[in-house]
A and B are shown apart, each in its own frame.
Chain A
């Protein structure tokens, strides 16, 4: 019986691969968009413009403090009612980019704050403009400090992307749902799906750990 199911599962291999591809591309696109916006959020959060920092902080907390599934539903079901029609894919990318921007924003802000004050005083004393200071001196150090957390965030992003299957995107999780309707062995199917996620995430877990070690040794 089991081997029979495994054999049938092999027929669905292309579907699983496509699902895997969808999960990877969803995550990558959202990482890119979320990364850029998150960087901006982080700079604002750590910056000197009080009210702007407060507003962005509130925005970030709003999304960190609500379930991701609810955010996805809002993007997909509620936005159309105010005239913003999105395909499932765009809605997914929007929700996922937004969430990662919020988390990345907090991470980047913590990195900027972790750069010793002496660095900006030295830069200031040499006459750098504010944005030069940020670009040449503060951000490179801040990003190096938070690199492991950023990779960790990407791992979460990949895993969170499975929530988006709820609005019908054929990602790895959803392809599992499809297959399980024909092969009634949830343990087997979702075992395979889980392995798929793990294959994407494990190299990054490994990378994050290495960065962490390198950070620790360079701080000595």
Chain B
């Protein structure tokens, strides 16, 4: 579904942010990406929906070669949901409008269809009674659940999450993770940048550890957490697991 082959990316000339990335994500697979700040995790998943261009190597998403000239990014983005750390909800639209805007204007759904779909999704993420609230009237956890529903309303094939719980107060993290867990269990293909190792243990098929722009180690959660082979991984894990 997603295939990185020898992908390299620079910011400007000097900053080499992604180094020879090789990574395959199969359909229905859940891959958790972790690593220290600045290691390139966000940049990695932002490449997947074309938010960041890359300079070398190849990246294929849902059969679309992102390195090709004149690639139809818009068509690809309809199939790839993206959930941001800072939610990025549209502040001038209600929760329901946030969720139905793209289905109506991008997918071309009728308003009734979109509203039906949107209401069902908002109910699914536990916000049936909050549909007509504006983002400023919602808590962080509620906003992030609206953002997830917004992406799902496009019925994407892939969902990308960039630290979806890092901006949340601790008591709201679970409500968002629960939504993501159920999504994973339904067989969604997911790439999730997170330091929530509990989530990784529970639903990830694979955990990828990045440092300084390169993938240092990756493996199934059991072996990744059980006996990490690299010092840097061990170092990192001891930091995130002990707090």
A127 near B136: Cβ-Cβ < 8 Å:
no
Contact with B along A113-127 (1 / 0, CB 8 A): 000101101101111
Which of A47-55, A99-107, A129-137 contacts the other chain? A129-137
A136 to B93, CA, bound (A): 10
Contact A144 to B92, CB < 8 A, known contacts A126-B106, A127-B106, A127-B154: yes
**B49: Cβ under 8 A from any A Cβ:** yes
What sequence of 0s and 1s flags, for each residue 91-102 of chain B, a beta carbon within 8 Å of any chain A beta carbon? 110000000011
Residues of chain A within 8 A of B206, CB atoms compared: none
Chain A residues numbered 145-171 whose CB sits less than 8 Å from any CB in chain B: none
User: Is there an interface contact between B77 and A141, defined as CB atoms closer than 8 Å?
Assistant: no
Q: Does B80 reach chain A (CB closer than 8 Å)?
A: yes
Pairs A-B, 8 closest by C-beta atoms: A126-B102, A118-B88, A122-B88, A125-B82, A127-B78, A127-B77, A127-B106, A127-B74
Q: Could you say which of B78, B84, B150 contacts A118, with CB atoms under 8 Å apart?
A: B84
Which residue on chain B has the smallest CB distance to residue A115?
B91
Q: What is the number of residues of chain B that contact chain A, defined by CB distance less than 8 Å?
A: 24
Residue in A closest to B86 when the chains form the complex, CB atoms: A118
Residues 41-82 of chain B, each 1 if its beta carbon lies under 8 Å from chain A, else 0:
000000001010000000000000000000000110110111
**CB of B228, distance to nearest CB on chain A (Å):** 33
A16 CB, min distance to chain B CBs, angstroms: 43
Within the complex, what minimum Cβ distance (angstroms) separates A216 from chain B? Answer: 13
Chain A residue, CB-CB nearest to B147: A122
Q: Nearest B residue to A132 by beta-carbon distance?
A: B105
A127 — which chain B residues lie within 8 A by C-beta?
74-75, 77-78, 102, 106, 154
Contact partner of A128 among B86, B106, B151, CB < 8 A? B106
The reply to whether A122 and B90 contact each other, CB–CB distance below 8 Å, is yes
Distance between Cα atoms of A118 and B86 in the complex (Å): 8
**A122/B84 contact (C-beta < 8 A), A140-B92, A144-B92 known:** yes
Q: What separation, in Å, do the CA atoms of A116 and B77 have in the docked complex?
A: 20
In the complex, the answer to whether A119 meets B90 with C-beta atoms within 8 Å is yes
Besides A119-B88, A137-B90, A141-B92, 6 new A-B residue pairs in contact (Cβ under 8 A), listed by A number: A118-B86, A122-B82, A124-B77, A126-B151, A127-B77, A129-B106
Shortest CB distance B106–A (Å): 4
* Measured CA separation A44–B150 after assembly (Å): 30
Interface residues of B (CB under 8 A from A): 49, 51, 74-75, 77-78, 80-82, 84, 86, 88-92, 101-102, 105-106, 136, 150-151, 154
Name the CB-closest residue of B to A126: B102
Identify the closest chain B residue to A116 (Cβ). Answer: B88
Interface size on A, residues (CB 8 A): 18
Whether the Cβ atoms of B150 and A218 lie closer than 8 Å is no
Q: Which residues on A sit within 8 Å (CB–CB) of B101?
A: 126, 136-137
Q: Which residue of A lies closest to B82 (CB)?
A: A125
A125/B136 contact (C-beta < 8 A), A140-B92, A141-B92 known: no
Q: Are B91's CB and A121's CB within 8 A?
A: no
Contacts of B105 in A (CB 8 A): 128, 132, 136
Min distance, Cβ A27 to any Cβ of chain B, angstroms: 29
Measured in the bound complex, the distance between the Cα atoms of B90 and A121 in whole Å is 11
Expressed in whole angstroms, the minimum distance between the Cβ of A114 and any Cβ of chain B is 13
Cα(A38)–Cα(B49), bound, Å: 34
Which of B49, B75, B78, B91 has the most chain A CB atoms inside 10 A of its CB?
B91
Q: Are A121 and B51 in contact (CB under 8 A)?
A: yes
Whose C-beta in chain A lies nearest to the C-beta of B98? A122
Contacting residues, chain B, for A141 (C-beta < 8 A)? 90-92
Which A residue's beta carbon lies closest to that of B103?
A126
| Closest CB in chain B relative to A10 CB, distance in Å | 50
A132 to B74, CA, bound (A): 12
Q: Which residues of A contact B75 (CB under 8 A)?
A: 127
* CB-CB under 8 A for A126 and B150, given A144-B92, A218-B136: yes
Q: Among the listed B77, B86, B90, B91, which residue makes an inter-chain contact with A125, where contact means beta carbons less than 8 Å apart?
A: B77
- In the assembled complex, the Cα of A127 lies from the Cα of B91 at a distance in Å of 19
CB distance from A2 to the nearest CB of B (A): 55
Once the chains bind, are A125 and B80 in contact (CB under 8 Å)? yes
**Nearest opposing residue in chain A for B85, CB measure:** A118
| Alpha-carbon distance between A127 and B77 when the two chains are bound, in angstroms | 5
Q: List 21 A-B contacts (CB under 8 A).
A: A116-B88, A118-B84, A119-B88, A121-B51, A121-B82, A121-B88, A122-B88, A122-B89, A124-B77, A125-B49, A125-B80, A125-B81, A126-B101, A126-B151, A128-B102, A129-B74, A132-B106, A136-B101, A137-B90, A140-B92, A144-B92
